[in-house]
Structure 1
Amino acid sequence: MADPHIRSKMDKIDYLTVIIYRLGFTFCFPVIALLPWQAELPFVTVDLIEKLVFVCAIMCASSLHIYMKSFRLLLQMATWVGLICVLLGYPEIGLGGAFITLGGLCYKEYFCFKIPGLPFQPVILVALWFSLQFNIELTSIILSSVASLLFLVVSIAKWRMPLHFDIGDKTKYEV
């Protein structure tokens, strides 16, 4: 988490990771919105949208700027464990790992932006995961719409602030 009043010197890696992190949120908007519809889309192969959810989660997890090492590793590990589940043939469980990362990051971003509904994003994503697993179509459509709208709002808020806000005070990071 950043201290916006502190402007640490940023290198190219800092700029790159902040942009990758923000793009991960931005891409979540259309990807999460399409999750319930992936079977009906003619241009989409089976599970393509779920793979794109992982791309978004990996973009965010690989570029976290959170001071506390334990939280940073927890959010990163959820995506990596989820990816291992997918590789072992359990994509339905793996998607939950990506949702843990994305939901946790939305919860973190609430403290920066105070966007109404954002602290509930982890719960919305858990409910979306369950509705997708049990093929509850209407619930999946509603939850994916709400979740994707929240991703859109948070990504707009992220892109409106200067890049150095994501970095904060480099001396506070636990390595």
Structure 2
Amino acid sequence: MANPEYQEKLDSLDKLSVCLYRTGISLFAIALLFLALSLSSLFNLTHTLSLSLLITGIAAAMCAANLHVYNKWVRTIIVWSAWIGILLILSDPQQGRVWLSLGFLFITLSGLALKESFCFKVLGLKVVPILLASSIGLLYFTQTIYASILLALTGLIVGYLSFKKWQMPLHFDIGIKANYEI
């Protein structure tokens, strides 16, 4: 994917999709930090959990809708996990199953982190799936303070990824168009 020797000619839709994907990653980092704060009870505002779930869902949708992965099966798993997580958030207004909704959204983010770790050498990406899976387990057992610590750490790693991604040329995210399975 990130082959500096090869530069695909990007049209305006390619450029838009890469920018939306990178914006989704940036929003994911912000959402994870905000989710960590809302779970740690540092904010006693009403609806902070709902708002952080909304931001997380939007970030997942932006990344899933603009994902550039060659293999269609991998792409399908990453994308459908986002849509299932969003549907679960929408179908659970009392947030009784937050861990389940976030679990599907975190499958998407884990897939993105692994994809990016194979393409680019960004520190910490390979541990993101472990941190996210651990945070889901902690949320299931209502250990929210520990889950918030892991989510904050993950948010910082994804934030660093976002920073590095915005420094890269846009064609790095597309790779070779002919290699995509449809």
TM-score by structure 1 length? Answer: 0.91
> 1:168, CA displacement in angstroms?
1.3
For residue 81 of structure 2, the aligned residue among 78, 81, 88 is 78
Equivalence map 1:104-123=2 (5 Å):
104-123=111-130
Summarize the Cα distance change of 1:73–1:56 in structure 2 as closer, same or farther, 3 Å threshold: same
Q: 1:43 and 1:6 mapped to 2: Cα distance? A: 50
Find the counterpart in structure 2 of residue 60 from structure 1. Answer: 63
Q: Which runs of 5+ in 2 are unaligned?
A: none
Q: Following TM superposition, where does structure 1 have runs of at least 4 consecutive aligned residues deviating by more than 6 angstroms?
A: none
Find the counterpart in structure 2 of residue 98 from structure 1. Answer: 105
* 8 Å CA contact retained: 2:36, 2:149: no
Deviations 1:46-87 (A, max 9, x none): 411011111111111100111111111110011111122223
Task: State whether structure 2 residue 167 is matched by structure 1 residue 160.
Answer: yes
Q: 1:63 and 1:123 mapped to 2: Cα distance? A: 24
Two-structure CA RMSD over aligned residues (Å)? 1.8
> 1:35, CA displacement in angstroms?
1.1
Task: State whether structure 2 residue 10 is matched by structure 1 residue 14.
Answer: no
Name the SS of the counterpart of 1:128 in structure 2: helix
* 8 Å CA contact retained: 1:36, 1:132: no
Deviations 1:76-129 (A, max 9, x none): 011111122223335442221111001111111112222232111011111112
Find the counterpart in structure 1 of residue 155 from structure 2. Answer: 148
- Sequence identity percentage: 36
Deviations 1:23-65 (A, max 9, x none): 1111122210121322525374441101111111111110011
> 1:139, CA displacement in angstroms?
1.0
* 8 Å CA contact retained: 2:2, 2:120: no
* 8 Å CA contact retained: 2:35, 2:49: no
